[in-house]
């Protein structure tokens, strides 16, 4: 396993729409392992291959040390709840910058595992938020785009000051 360099905001790669994974092989498993190690080192609870400049639809989530590691290949949100929730979000590509984001509180989604087997699941709460956040990234939507222009501009100015 290796810690990979993370693209930092405003890197243009963070706006890239990722390609579906078509080859389920040992290289994909190594990438998932490397993403896990990179995410833990950042630290974070979720990461995509896009965060490290590999534009494939791969997501790794680990909500906490006591939680299992979740690997989602080609995730797709099928439906969302009407009920919304607010949660503080951030990104491994923009360390220490956080803001509240409003998203649906529950989702139904499908994905493939590392062997290419298709799965469908329901998620709610923090896991649903994380999956939506990472699915956005795979679609080239950086989490800041979910903020109002005022909040986004204020957060970027603050982050740029601390990033120097």
Which CATH number is associated with domain 12-163? 3.90.45.10
Q: Per-residue pLDDT tens for 106-136?
A: 999 999 999 999 999 999 999 999 999 999 9
Q: Across the strands, what pairs with 76? A: 110
Is residue 137 within 8 A of residue 93, CB to CB? The reply is no
Q: What is the pTM of this model?
A: 0.96
Using DSSP bridges, classify how beta strands 94-104 and 70-80 pair: parallel, antiparallel or unpaired.
unpaired
- Per-residue pLDDT at 164: 67
Asked whether the beta carbons of 36 and 62 are under 8 A apart, the reply is: yes
For residue 66, the model assigns a pLDDT of 84
Q: What does DSSP assign to residue 19?
A: B
Please say if 120 is a catalytic residue.
Answer: no
Instruction: Please check whether residue 131 is in contact with residue 78, taking contact to mean a CB–CB distance below 8 angstroms.
Output: no
What pLDDT sits at residue 81?
97
Query: Which residue is catalytic, options 100, 120, 134, 160?
Result: 134
**pLDDT less than 50: residues of the chain:** none
pLDDT at 3: 97
């Amino acid at each position: 396993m290796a810690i990979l360099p993370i693209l930092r905001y405003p890197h243009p790669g963070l706006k890239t729409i990722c390609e579906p994974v078509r080859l389920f092989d040992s290289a994909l498993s190594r990438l998932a392992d490397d993403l896990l190690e990179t995410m833990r080192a950042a630290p974070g609870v979720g990461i995509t291959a896009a965060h490290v400049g590999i534009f494939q639809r791969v997501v790794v989530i680990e909500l906490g040390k006591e939680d299992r590691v979740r690997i989602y290949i080609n995730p797709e949100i099928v439906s969302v709840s009407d009920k919304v929730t607010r949660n503080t979000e951030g990104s491994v590509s923009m360390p220490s910058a956080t803001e509240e984001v409003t998203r649906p509180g529950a989702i139904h989604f499908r994905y493939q595992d590392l062997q290419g087997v298709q799965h469908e699941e329901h998620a709610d709460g923090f896991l649903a938020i994380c999956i939506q956040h990472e699915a956005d990234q795979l679609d080239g939507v950086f989490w800041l785009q979910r903020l109002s222009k005022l909040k986004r501009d204020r957060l970027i100015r603050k982050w740029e000051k601390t990033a120097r």
